[in-house]
Amino acid sequence: MTADPEIVLQNPNRYPDVTAAALAGWLRELVARSAPRPASFTARLVGDRAMRRANRDFRGKDATTDVLSFPGGETPEGLHLGDVLISVPAARRQVPAGETLDLELKRLLLHGVLHCLGYDHESDDGTMDRLEARLRREWL
């Protein structure tokens, strides 16, 4: 019998238009099905200023972005899949007409999970993009 992954979805700014409980349930299922074995995973919803600082500190890019991923690794408690930061204001700005913020946040969470699983669209031959497109059809 396998344990469910420990999923933490932080919304420290308490964005009122984010349904964190629903997103956390969806994310728990995504990680449970995607990770090679039970894992922990953390996602944090932040503002543009915090995202810009993280992007500058970790990637050397002094600009905000929509999502940053930090793959994890083995811990004494088991596999930590990784951590993802999402800028809610950036996500809001790119919500397609007729869609919801929650759907955009799910897209970004899926993208972040794939990076934490080791996929990299910036250096592969399109593998991550194809997988992400397939998973979007399945999960979104």
Alpha helices, DSSP H, located in 1-140? 20-34, 48-59, 88-93, 101-116, 127-139
Expressed as residue numbers, the domain containing 45 is 6-139
For the segment 79-93, what is each residue's pLDDT rounded down to a tens digit?
899 999 999 999 999
Q: What is the CATH number of the domain that holds 93?
A: 3.40.390.30
Domain total in the chain: 1
Within a domain: 53: yes
β-pair partners for 6: 40
82-113 burial: b if 16+ Cβ within 10 Å, else e = bbbbbbbebbeeeeeeeeebbebbbbbbbbbb
Each residue's pLDDT tens digit, 114-140:
999 999 888 888 899 999 999 999 999
Q: What is the pTM of this model?
A: 0.91
